[in-house]
């Protein structure tokens, strides 16, 4: 069990937010605080669950994508007992073959929490159809949870085709594409 709480915030140029390629769903929600508030780029609004634990957020892609990082915005000061405490990240091809890839324990977090999705023993990216975020427990043993925003990142496609690398020098990169 790792605690990769804050993780690394990688350079913006290295990753792309690919949440828009996916269908998002939740296990339960309170009316007025549904799943769209997870994706509205507004940290003032939040999703509130309304059922039994564990609370689930499912991210389903149409095609197998490469995933790099997950980012959650939570705020202990505002949400207190609604703030998640233990989060399990699972991935797989469908709901029946999910495999837990990471468990994260949070301690009174305020702000963005980055969870790296790359398997820690290699530098490859995670490739999956479905990612599930399970909130196993909350702070102060709260029943329901608030999450204010979730973003999911994949690596950037290289602009130069047929070549795995980004060129580092100007001579190469200036001649590598036609704009």
Partner 1 sequence: MEATLTESVCASLRVYLYRNATFLCERLYADFPSENNLHLLATCYFRSNQAYRAYHILKGSKSAQCRYLFALACFQMDSMVEAEAALLYPSGAGSEVPNGAAGYYMLGVICRLTDRRQAAIGHYTQALILDPFLWSAYEDLCLLGAEEEAAGLLGDVAVSRLQQQQQHLHWELRTQTSAPAALCIDHFDTGNGSHSQLRSSFSNAGSPKHSRFSSVILGDDTSSCVNSGGPGSGAISVSGFTDYGSNSLAFVTPTAGSSQVPTPGKNMQGIGSNLGGSLVATTEGPTRANIAAGGHSQQRRKFVDEGKFRKVSGRLFDAVPRRSSRLAGESKSSALGSITSSGSGPGSSGAGGGLYTLAGSSGTTSRSSGNSLQSSGIRKGLSFGSMESSLDDVEEDRPGGSVAGVYHGSKVFQDGALELLNLLRILGEGFRHLCMYRCQEAMQAFSKLPQQQFATSWVLCQVARACCEMVDYPEAERIFSEARRISAHHLEGADIFSTVLYHMKKDVELSYLAQETVAMDRLSPQAWCVMGNCFSLQKDHETALKFFQRALQLDSRFTYAYTLCGHEYVAMEDFEEGLICYRNAIRMDSRHYNAWYGLGTIYFRQEKYELAEYHFRRALQINSRSSVLHCYLGMALHALKKNEEALSLLEQAIIADVKNPLPKYQKANVLMSEERYDDALAELEQLKEVAPRESSVFFLMGKIYKRLDFPEKAMYHFCIALDLKPSTADVNLIKIAIEKLHVADDLEEENL
Binding residues for partner 1 (CB under 8 A): 10-14, 16, 91-93, 99, 119, 122-128, 155-159, 161-179
Tell me the sheet residues that pair with 87.
104, 135
- Whichever of 140 and 159 has its CB closer to partner 1, that residue is 159
- Whichever of 5 and 119 has its CB closer to partner 1, that residue is 119
- Whichever of 22 and 106 has its CB closer to partner 1, that residue is 22
Task: Give the separation between CA 104 and CA 168, rounded to whole angstroms.
Answer: 35
Tell me the sheet residues that pair with 90.
100, 132
The least CB distance from residue 146 to partner 1, in Å, is 28
If you ran DSSP here, which 8-state letter would residue 95 be given? T
Q: How far is CA 77 from the centre of its chain?
A: 22
The least CB distance from residue 116 to partner 1, in Å, is 12
The least CB distance from residue 86 to partner 1, in Å, is 23
- Whichever of 94 and 141 has its CB closer to partner 1, that residue is 94
Task: Give the separation between CA 47 and CA 16, rounded to whole angstroms.
Answer: 23
Task: Give the separation between CA 72 and CA 113, rounded to whole angstroms.
Answer: 5
């Amino acid at each position: 069990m790792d605690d990769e709480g804050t993780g690394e915030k990688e350079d913006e140029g290295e990753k792309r937010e690919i949440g828009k390629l996916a269908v998002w769903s939740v296990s339960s929600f309170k009316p007025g605080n549904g799943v769209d508030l997870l994706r509205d780029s507004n940290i003032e609004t939040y999703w509130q669950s309304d059922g039994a634990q564990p609370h689930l957020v499912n991210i389903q892609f149409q095609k197998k994508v490469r995933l790099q990082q997950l980012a959650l915005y939570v705020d202990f000061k505002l949400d207190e007992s609604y703030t998640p405490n233990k989060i399990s990240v699972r991935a797989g091809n469908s709901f029946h073959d999910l495999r837990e890839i990471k468990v994260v324990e949070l301690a009174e977090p305020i702000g963005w929490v980055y969870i790296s999705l790359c398997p820690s023993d290699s530098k490859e990216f995670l490739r999956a159809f479905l990612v599930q975020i399970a909130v196993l427990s909350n702070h102060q043993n709260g029943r329901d949870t608030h999450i204010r925003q979730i973003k999911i990142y994949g690596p950037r496609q290289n602009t130069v085709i047929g070549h795995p690398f980004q060129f580092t020098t100007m001579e190469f990169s200036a001649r590598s594409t036609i704009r």
